[in-house]
Amino acid sequence: MKKYVILMMSFVCAFMLIGCSPTKTFTIEHAKSINIMSGTTGQTKSFDEDKVIAHITDNITSLKFKKQESSQDSTGWGYKVSWYDEDKKNIESIVIMDEHTIDYDGYFYSTDDSHGINIKYMNQLLDSMK
């Protein structure tokens, strides 16, 4: 009986830890422009078209991210995305590592969402500049 109680307590603790892992969602409102920078080429492009801003913003704000390890010693990244208001003040910035991982505020965050971050769309936007 004692082993059973210890086993049950272990399961309860494990579920509590899983359920309490820090998550991050983004709320980005009133963005009037968006800046995308490629971590591979250094190419940067700003967009003020509502359709582009909405597509990227909706993609990021629809995801729930779980906090992972520190990104302090990380090198290399896919894209940096920054949102700006009408006064060109930065609203939010994130670094996209891949389809399921971002670097935000010194930590990696990952999403389990099967669609993830639409980096193909960002590739198309930057490729259209060439």
Q: CATH number, domain at 106?
A: 2.60.40
pLDDT band at 1 (very low <50, low <70, confident <90, very high): low
| pLDDT value, residue 17 | 46
Range of the domain at 93: 22-127
Residue 73 within any structural domain of the chain: yes
> Tens digit of pLDDT for each residue in 11-49?
544 444 445 568 999 999 999 999 999 999 999 999 999
Secondary element (H or E) of residue 93: strand 90-98
pLDDT band at 119 (very low <50, low <70, confident <90, very high): very high
Q: Count of domains in the chain?
A: 1
Residue 17 within any structural domain of the chain: no
Residue 9 within any structural domain of the chain: no
Residue 1 within any structural domain of the chain: no
Single-letter amino acid code for the residue at 19: G
Burial of 56 (0-12, 13-18, 19+ CB in 10 A): buried
| pLDDT value, residue 22 | 83
Residue 77 within any structural domain of the chain: yes
Residue 71 within any structural domain of the chain: yes
pLDDT band at 10 (very low <50, low <70, confident <90, very high): low
